[in-house]
Amino acid sequence: MTKKTFGIAVLVLILDQLVKSLVDIYLEVNESRVVIKNFFNITFVHNTGGAWSILENHSYVFIILSVVAIILLVRFMFKFKKNLRNSLAFALTISGIMSNLADRIFLGYVRDFLDFKVFGYDYPIFNIADIAIVIGVLLLMWAIIKGEDKV
């Protein structure tokens, strides 16, 4: 992992854990605060599953999958072309997985709080780590499409 990739990963991990901790301090579980009426709330929940609460109360599955994913990502990182986008992609993906993994290991659940309603659909509540993972994976997909997955 390059210094740049490592630095970005550490910053995202710290940011996510800091914001989760602040939400944990200022909100009770299942408490919600309106930010933009009918669009965005801060709603604090404990997620013991994955996206859309799949495999609820099976944290061990997500712990194992997270560790395997991190190992694979680190392995593949050295096979991708070295550029800023790929460094950012790996940093975001790895740090997002690590932050949610830390929650699962130390708390037994993931702290989620970003609650959007888009065109009447109440999207599942998520966190900054989830955003990092999605953006990182999209950037990795773009690198593969552009042929930058080989040195």
pLDDT digits (tens, 9 = 90+) for 19-60: 999 999 999 999 999 999 999 999 999 998 766 666 666 678
Cβ of 119: how many Cβ atoms within 10 Å?
A: 5
DSSP element (H, E) containing 80: none
Q: Model confidence over 52-63: pLDDT tens digits?
A: 666 666 678 889
Can you tell me whether residue 118 is helix, strand or coil? Answer: strand
Q: 94 with 74: CB under 8 angstroms?
A: yes
pLDDT (average), residues 106-129 = 94
Give pairs for 55-58: CB < 8 Å, separation 24+. Answer: none
User: What is the structure's pLDDT at 52?
Assistant: 63
pLDDT of 6 reads 87
- Residues classed as catalytic: 112, 130
103-120 average pLDDT score: 94
State the residue for tokens 């099976």.
58
Taking alpha carbons only, the member of 62, 59, 36, 32 closest to residue 48 is 59
Q: What is the pLDDT of residue 49?
A: 74
The reported pLDDT for the residue numbered 19 is 98
* Cα angle 70-136-128, degrees, rounded to a multiple of 5: 90
B/e letters for 6-31, b = 16+ CB within 10 Å, e = fewer, are eebbeebbeebbebbeebeeebeeee
Q: pLDDT tens, 60-96?
A: 888 999 999 999 999 988 888 888 888 999 999 999 9
Considering the entire predicted model, what is its pTM? 0.90
* pLDDT in the model for residue 51: 67
Largest CA distance in the chain: 48
